[in-house]
């Protein structure tokens, strides 16, 4: 019976630890001992290793080497058939070496597995909020990072068997729309806006902020336009609706272009507006809020946080208010076990306050998580701001990526027809862009630089696509794979199987960190090892048919794992590039 390395070793250790603590008659709960398995790229430290002896050494008042000795014996006494040997090294590490047979069994086991074997989460419901573009503003680089990260995160949870609700919290409410409407009324041109809505509205918005710097009266006007809207002003609402309609069209066009999965819920902030008076009343009767300088605030001294405002002195609501309303709505309607907010780190304070308020309302803190990520910054290392008009539209980047990809493909694949080249160029460009935003940790600041963004060498999506495509070609040429009867595997085959087996651990790691870069790193190193294998082991013209078939099986499983990875990252699998 085949088990993945982690499970296999963990079981052996945990039996040994149980025996050991029974022997020592010590009041140590063997079940609570963290058993950690490391995969080793360097076989000098075993295929897997464990540091469990270190963590036991204090409780048992013994040296880690001594404990490792006992554990080794207790593991060996279980006569594990897939272990060639266990070694003690480095003052207490247990290093495990698998038998060759284990890896061939593993390969056969892999052929029987598919993505659905990893859906272990039993349909627990999770809401993942991401993208959240603002009406009347173009999506920019920041949204690109956010949307790609959120989409992939949702894919990951989906893959693990959760019931994912992809949530788009659209910014269609707030004082900013007061500003926009104010600007439109003053300087707007209906025809121009109809012709090029997003660009035109953005210009109005930027102009408003510029003029407001000279003339502070404008800010007041903008606030009152928003206030009017909250009170149901027909004209303003009509304008807003128009802007919303145009924006939605544009967002959807971009989502399709980027191959972002459809959202399950797309709800604008304005939706929550009617629920707010009741919520404020409740908070008042629960003595959560108090009046300060004419506004209503939630004091958060108990959390060591500055107070959070939930109603402005003119009676209008703000972001936080609608956030709370939205939370109540989501919990009541969907009862998720968790909500992930994929929002930039710049809003860390907002979310601290928001979560603190949620706790005051009795919502357990582990239900909410701010999946923050760092900014995309300019060459000066500083923020790109919409208000100052310093934005880089997502569309511009996508266009540039496609252009770059097209050039490379036109040059490298003169053998394929134009039309196909264009299709490949587009897919490669989008893949490349997505991978660029996923390959680094969330907290890495990204300096905006088209050139590095569009690099098609090294740790990039095209490299992964390329690796996949080369193996794919072999499989296509090989046709039906005969079940490998003679199973001759050499060291490099075993090493590759071992690498493939590591994939089961990567998803959990990515989930725990809410970051896809672990998966990227893994896929890249897998592809790297596979490429090396590709160069050194010609398959199709191998005279040894047993080895040939075994290797065909192997690369088929390799590509299967790559495909799973691509699916989660949201990048397209391409049979040829």
Partner RNA sequence: GUCCCCGUAGUUCAAUGGAUAGAACGCGAGCCUUCUAAGCCUGAGAUGGAGGUCCGAUUCCUCCCGGGGACACCA
Residues 349-388 that bind RNA (CB under 7 A): 349-350, 352, 372, 374-375, 377, 381-383
- Judged by beta carbon, residue 189 or residue 538, the one nearer RNA is 538
Q: Are 405 and 436 spatial neighbours (Cβ–Cβ below 8 Å)? A: no
* C-alpha to C-alpha distances, 168 to 17, 96, 266, nearest whole angstrom: 48, 47, 5
- Report helix, strand or coil for 368: strand
Binding to RNA, residues 276-295 (CB under 7 A): 292-295
* 521 makes contact with RNA (CB under 7 A): yes
Parallel, antiparallel or unpaired: strands 48-50 and 93-98? antiparallel
Smallest gap from Cβ 396 to RNA, in A, equals 21
CA distance 252 to 275: 28
- Judged by beta carbon, residue 307 or residue 546, the one nearer RNA is 307
Q: With the C-alpha atoms ordered 505, 506, 511, 513, is the resulting torsion angle positive or negative?
A: positive
Smallest gap from Cβ 302 to RNA, in A, equals 15
- Judged by beta carbon, residue 207 or residue 350, the one nearer RNA is 350
Residues 6+ apart with CB under 8 A from 99: 81, 82, 83, 84
Parallel, antiparallel or unpaired: strands 295-298 and 290-292? antiparallel
- For the chain, the C-alpha Rg in angstroms (whole number) is 29
DSSP code at position 374: P
Smallest gap from Cβ 421 to RNA, in A, equals 9
Exposure class string for 185-220: b at 16+ Cβ within 10 A, else e = eeebeeeebeeebbebbbbbbbebbeebeeeeebbe
To which residue do tokens 């173009």 refer? 138
To which residue do tokens 């005279």 refer? 543
Binding to RNA, residues 211-270 (CB under 7 A): 219, 223, 226, 269
From 69-77, 167-175, 199-207, 496-504, give the range in contact with RNA by CB under 7 A.
167-175
Say what the alpha-carbon torsion angle 288, 366, 347, 165 is, to the nearest 10 degrees.
Answer: -110
Residues 6+ apart with CB under 8 A from 501: 4, 5, 106, 110
Smallest gap from Cβ 121 to RNA, in A, equals 20
- Report helix, strand or coil for 260: coil
* 341 makes contact with RNA (CB under 7 A): no
- Judged by beta carbon, residue 113 or residue 416, the one nearer RNA is 416
- Judged by beta carbon, residue 82 or residue 524, the one nearer RNA is 524
* 315 conformational bin, left if phi > 0, alpha if psi -120 to 50, beta if neither: left
Binding to RNA, residues 80-109 (CB under 7 A): 89-93, 95
* 541 makes contact with RNA (CB under 7 A): yes
From 236-244, 345-353, 356-364, 481-489, give the range in contact with RNA by CB under 7 A.
345-353
Smallest gap from Cβ 334 to RNA, in A, equals 21
Stretch 484-513: interaction string toward RNA, x if CB under 7 A: -------------------------x----
* 54 makes contact with RNA (CB under 7 A): yes
Task: List the structure tokens of 331.
Answer: 């919990």
- Judged by beta carbon, residue 418 or residue 457, the one nearer RNA is 457
To which residue do tokens 């919990």 refer? 331
Residue count, binding to RNA (CB under 7 A): 106
CA distance 355 to 298: 12
- Report helix, strand or coil for 565: helix
- Judged by beta carbon, residue 14 or residue 537, the one nearer RNA is 537
Please provide the DSSP assignment of 31-53 as one string.
GGS---EEE-SSGGG-SEEE-HH
Measured CA angle at 85 (ends 6, 527), to 5 deg = 50
Q: Which of 45, 82, 98, 167 contacts RNA by CB under 7 A?
A: 45
Smallest gap from Cβ 271 to RNA, in A, equals 12
Residues 6+ apart with CB under 8 A from 558: 471, 496, 500, 526, 530
Residues 6+ apart with CB under 8 A from 103: 489, 493, 494, 497, 498
Q: Which of 486, 540, 544, 545 contacts RNA by CB under 7 A?
A: 540
- Judged by beta carbon, residue 164 or residue 446, the one nearer RNA is 446
Nearest to 12 by CA among 123, 120, 100, 86: 86
From 25-33, 52-60, 103-111, 333-341, give the range in contact with RNA by CB under 7 A.
52-60
- Judged by beta carbon, residue 3 or residue 38, the one nearer RNA is 38
- Judged by beta carbon, residue 199 or residue 449, the one nearer RNA is 449
- Judged by beta carbon, residue 164 or residue 433, the one nearer RNA is 433
Smallest gap from Cβ 525 to RNA, in A, equals 7
Q: Which of 104, 155, 175, 573 contacts RNA by CB under 7 A?
A: 175
Smallest gap from Cβ 321 to RNA, in A, equals 8
Smallest gap from Cβ 394 to RNA, in A, equals 17
Smallest gap from Cβ 58 to RNA, in A, equals 6
Binding to RNA, residues 422-481 (CB under 7 A): 424, 428, 439-441, 443-447, 452, 455-459, 462-463, 466, 469-470, 473-474, 477
Smallest gap from Cβ 108 to RNA, in A, equals 22
Smallest gap from Cβ 280 to RNA, in A, equals 14
Binding to RNA, residues 302-321 (CB under 7 A): 304, 306-307, 309, 312-314, 316, 318-319
Q: Which of 228, 266, 534, 560 contacts RNA by CB under 7 A?
A: 534
* 42 makes contact with RNA (CB under 7 A): yes
From 117-125, 197-205, 235-243, 520-528, give the range in contact with RNA by CB under 7 A.
520-528
Stretch 123-142: interaction string toward RNA, x if CB under 7 A: -----------x--------
Q: Show the DSSP H helices in 439-483 as ranges.
A: 450-453, 461-478
CA distance 335 to 131: 22
């Amino acid at each position: 019976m085949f088990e993945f390395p982690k499970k296999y070793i963990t079981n052996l250790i945990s039996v040994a630890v149980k025996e050991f603590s029974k022997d020592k008659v010590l009041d140590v709960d063997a079940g609570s001992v963290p058993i950690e398995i490391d995969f080793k790229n360097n076989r000098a430290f075993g295929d897997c290793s464990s540091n469990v002896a270190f963590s036991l050494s204090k409780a048992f008042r013994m040296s880690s080497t001594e404990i490792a000795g006992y554990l080794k014996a207790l593991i060996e006494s279980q006569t594990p058939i897939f272990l060639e040997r266990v070694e003690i090294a480095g003052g207490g590490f247990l290093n495990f070496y698998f038998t060759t047979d284990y890896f061939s069994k593993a390969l056969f086991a892999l052929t029987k597995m598919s993505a659905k074997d990893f859906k272990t989460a039993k349909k627990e419901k999770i809401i993942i909020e991401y993208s959240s573009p603002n009406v009347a503003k173009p999506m920019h680089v920041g949204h690109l990072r956010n949307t790609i990260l959120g989409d992939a995160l949702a894919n990951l949870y989906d893959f693990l068997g959760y019931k994912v609700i992809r949530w788009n919290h659209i910014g269609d409410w707030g004082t900013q729309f007061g500003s926009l409407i104010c600007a439109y009324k003053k300087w707007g041109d209906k025809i121009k806006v109809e012709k090029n809505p997003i660009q035109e509205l953005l210009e109005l918005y930027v102009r408003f902020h510029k003029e407001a710097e000279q003339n502070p009266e404008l800010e007041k006007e903008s606030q009152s336009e928003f206030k009017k809207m909250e009170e149901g002003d027909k004209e303003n609402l009509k304008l807003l609706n128009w802007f919303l309609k145009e924006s939605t069209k544009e967002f959807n066009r971009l989502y399709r272009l980027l191959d972002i999965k459809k959202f399950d819920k797309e709800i604008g902030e304005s939706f929550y507006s009617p629920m707010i008076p009741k919520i404020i009343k409740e908070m008042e009767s629960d003595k959560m809020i108090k009046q300060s300088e004419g506004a209503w605030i939630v004091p958060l001294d108990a959390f060591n946080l500055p107070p959070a405002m939930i109603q402005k002195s003119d009676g209008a609501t703000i972001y936080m208010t609608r956030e709370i309303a939205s939370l109540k709505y989501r919990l009541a309607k969907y009862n998720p076990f968790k909500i992930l907010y994929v929002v930039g780190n710049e809003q860390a304070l907002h979310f601290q306050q928001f979560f603190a308020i949620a706790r005051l309302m009795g919502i357990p803190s582990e239900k909410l998580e701010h999946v923050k990520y760092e900014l995309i910054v300019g060459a000066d290392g500083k923020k790109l701001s919409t208000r100052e008009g310093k934005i880089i539209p997502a569309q511009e980047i996508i266009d540039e990526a496609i252009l770059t990809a097209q050039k490379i493909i036109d040059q490298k694949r003169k053998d394929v027809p134009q039309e196909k080249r264009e299709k490949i160029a587009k897919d490669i460009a989008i893949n490349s862009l997505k991978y660029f935003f996923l390959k680094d940790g969330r907290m890495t600041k990204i300096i905006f630089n088209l050139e590095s963004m569009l690099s098609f060498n090294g740790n990039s999506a095209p490299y992964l696509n390329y690796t996949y495509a080369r193996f794919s070609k072999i499989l296509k040429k090989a046709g039906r794979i005969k079940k490998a009867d003679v199973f001759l595997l050499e060291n490099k085959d075993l090493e590759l199987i071992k690498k493939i087996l590591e994939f089961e651990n990567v998803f959990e790691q990515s989930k725990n960190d809410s970051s896809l870069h672990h998966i990227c790193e893994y896929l890249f190193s897998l592809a790297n090892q596979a490429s090396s294998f590709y160069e050194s082991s010609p398959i199709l013209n191998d005279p040894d048919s047993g080895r040939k078939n075994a290797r065909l099986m192997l690369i088929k499983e390799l590509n299967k794992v790559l495909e799973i990875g691509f699916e989660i990252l949201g990048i397209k699998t391409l049979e040829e590039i």
